[in-house]
Amino acid sequence: MAEKTNKKEQRPGFLESLSQAYTLRRENIIILTGDVNGLFYSREEDNYISLEQILNSELKDKFNLVRMDIAGGITFYDRDTAEEVTRVCESTDGYYTPAGRVDALKRMIGSSMHNPLQALVLLQGMGEAFVRVRRLEPHIKPMCLVFQFAGALFSAGDYSRLSELERQRLISFLSWVSGPLFRESPELFILVNSVKSELNAKITALPHAEHIEIDLPGKEDRRKFVQHFTGRNKGIRFSHGKGTFVEDTAGLALHNIKDLLEVAARTKETLTRKHVVKEVNDILQAQLGDIIRIKYPAHTSKDIVGFKETGEIFTTIFERCEDQETAVAAILVSGPNGSGKTFQLEAYAAESGRVVIELAGIRGSYFGETDRFFELLRWHIATFGKILILVDEAHTAFGSVHSGQTHQTEQRLSGNIIKMMGDPRYFGKVLWGLMTSRPDELDPDIKSRAPVQVPIFDLEGEERKQFVLEMFKRKKISLSEADVNKALSLTTYYSARDYRNLVAEVLAQRRKKPEITVLEVLTGWQASKSIKRQREFQEMIAALHCSYPNLLPEKYRDLPDNVLMRKVEELKILLHQ
């Protein structure tokens, strides 16, 4: 009895949703999206099989399953189904089917292979035959049509945007499924596509259509699969243990995890986090392009020199995001170029145990594909545990929903992002880290979702001195008290990035001249001053976007907002001349 219960628990969740939609709500058009290329546990075979195999396994006793796609045309999952459909369509007395009629149906199916409109007309004829025969045979199994790659068959878009053939296919299908013969019949249509946005909205809006999104496997699903696979393939080794491997594979479908395990089984190579991260990034970039990347930062707060008060604030933010009641949707991290915004945020995210997802170049890469991108992004996010979505130069990543110059697709992307930020279901699970040197250019609706605004300025005074000493110390370069003071006086405009470049310059010159000092290097090399005024401008803007006055440099603490804003406007005019 315990074994049966365990097997019932392993039935894929989407099958339960499909059953309820069909039997309880009488919805006989099911749209399956999401992990449609994944693997699913079959109780019958005690193994993991594909979506079509699991549909056939679960539905074949209740339906006559027929398959169609835009290239392969109409096919059957087994010979018995082909013979039964032929009998229903072509039998003269319900039992005997003349050979000529069998051959005629085969020819029609064959000729429709590369003609999807003809195949749809033929399928409609089959459906009408089932309705007709059911009057004489009430207990005949209904027909279930599985449309693979449904987005290619019924493309998204208004009639005016579709080609003549696309319109004919769509109208033919809508005419068929909207009629009372189909709506009142027990026939079932399953439309399979990776994303809903590629399928025509006139189908998804039908009252008897139900959208079911197949989630990527959760932690327990992945654990069971790894246990199942390693039970049959001994000797697979995990560098950080099986449990850590299961955690790290969040975002992967089971067939991706299977690939990793099979390679490890054949090569006898130990599976490391590096293997998993590469696989996750390869999959995400294949689906979403180069704009998304999963990161597991190797550095922590111990690698940050100075910024003590900023660090305490970041620690508090991540702690409060463990509780949905106190969590914030987003934080805005601003500051001049090179101040270390990304480095610091990644460090505290790593300490908090959050996965870091980096987004970049959304507007340029996904112009015109906004709906598909957002659907896939949301789908992947739902699978990970607690995450930090890192958006560098956020002011260029999203278009304004209020600007008349922003294209409609970009407005829709920004609108969807804003909705996700404000969705209470994601509070605590998803934290958006918006980093920018120009927070003044961010859409107000996005800024309002970030109640915590943390500016990062160049270090001053003793902290700056300690930062410089530590940077050189880590590379085994010693500086005397006099030398560091002199170096500081020569580098008053340097950012944290500039100091990292100075260290690299010293190391490079010491390869040819090992005895050269830091001060000698500074007599012949200096960081560029080309953006000195721009950095000053960015610093003032960051001061205006600050939730913690104690983080402000001394020169801004007692400066009235109106004075600071006037200085910003003056510099803005000067820089645009």
The beta strands (E) that lie in 89-218 are given as 143-147, 188-192, 209-214
Same domain, 340 and 374: yes
Under the phi-then-psi rule, with left for phi > 0, alpha for psi from -120 to 50, and beta for the rest, what region is 306? Answer: left
Same domain, 182 and 233: no
CA dist 317 and 329 (Å) reads 11
Same domain, 386 and 519: no
Same domain, 183 and 60: yes
Cα-based distances in Å from 243 to 135, 237, 253, 268:
56, 12, 17, 19
Same domain, 162 and 90: yes
DSSP letter for 114, please: T
Same domain, 185 and 70: yes
- Which of residues 423, 455, 487 is at a domain's end? 455
Tell me whether residue 288 is in a domain.
no
Domain of residue 341, residue span: 295-455
Residue 165: CB atoms within 10 Å = 11
Q: Please give the average per-residue pLDDT across 537-543, as a whole number.
A: 92
Rg for the chain, CA atoms, rounded: 31
pLDDT at residue 93 in the model: 67
Same domain, 491 and 523: yes
- Which of residues 427, 455, 483 is at a domain's end? 455
Same domain, 116 and 154: yes
Tell me whether residue 423 is in a domain.
yes
| CATH number assigned to the domain comprising residue 49 | 3.40.50
Q: How many domains does the chain have?
A: 4
pLDDT at residue 362 in the model: 61
Q: H/E element holding 42? A: strand 39-42
DSSP string, 191-230: EE-S-GGGB-HHHHTSTTEEEEEEPPP-HHHHHHHHHHHH
Average pLDDT, the chain: 87
Same domain, 150 and 189: yes
Among residues 447, 434, 349, which one has the least CA distance to residue 397? 434
- Which of residues 455, 487, 505 is at a domain's end? 455
pLDDT at residue 410 in the model: 64
DSSP string, 314-351: HHHHHHHTTSTTT--SEEEEE-STTS-HHHHHHHHHHH
Residues with Cβ within 8 Å of 68's Cβ and at least 6 positions away in sequence, in order, are 74, 75, 116, 119, 123, 145, 146, 147, 148, 153
The better pLDDT of the pair 96, 344 is held by 344
Q: Which amino acid, 90?
A: E
Look at the alpha carbons of 477, 481, 486, 488 in this order and tell me if their dihedral is positive or negative.
positive
In the three-class reduction of DSSP (H, G, I as helix; E, B as strand; rest coil), residue 550 is classed as helix
Among residues 471, 431, 470, 434, which one has the least CA distance to residue 455? 434
Same domain, 358 and 377: yes
253, pLDDT greater than 60 = yes
Tell me whether residue 280 is in a domain.
no
Among residues 19, 21, 38, which one has the least CA distance to residue 383? 38
CA dist 85 and 90 (Å) reads 8
Tell me whether residue 285 is in a domain.
no
Q: Give residue 366's Cα distance to chain centre.
A: 13
Tell me whether residue 336 is in a domain.
yes
CA dist 276 and 245 (Å) reads 8
| 167-170, Cβ contacts within 8 angstroms, sequence gap of 24 or more | 168/117, 169/116, 169/117, 169/120, 170/200, 170/202, 170/203
Report whether 491 contacts 459 (CB < 8 A). no
Same domain, 431 and 476: no
Q: Tell me whether strands 292-295 and 355-359 are parallel, antiparallel or unpaired.
A: antiparallel
Q: Which amino acid, 365?
A: S
Q: Is this structure's pTM higher than 0.85?
A: no
CA dist 447 and 465 (Å) reads 34
- Percent of all residues in the chain with a pLDDT value above 90, rounded to a whole number: 49
366, pLDDT greater than 70 = no
pLDDT at residue 290 in the model: 65
Tell me whether residue 348 is in a domain.
yes
Same domain, 95 and 199: yes
Query: pLDDT tens, 141-199?
Result: 999 999 999 999 999 989 988 999 999 999 999 999 998 889 989 999 999 999 998 99
Tell me whether residue 279 is in a domain.
no
Q: Please give the average per-residue pLDDT across 536-551, as a whole number.
A: 91
Tell me whether residue 544 is in a domain.
yes
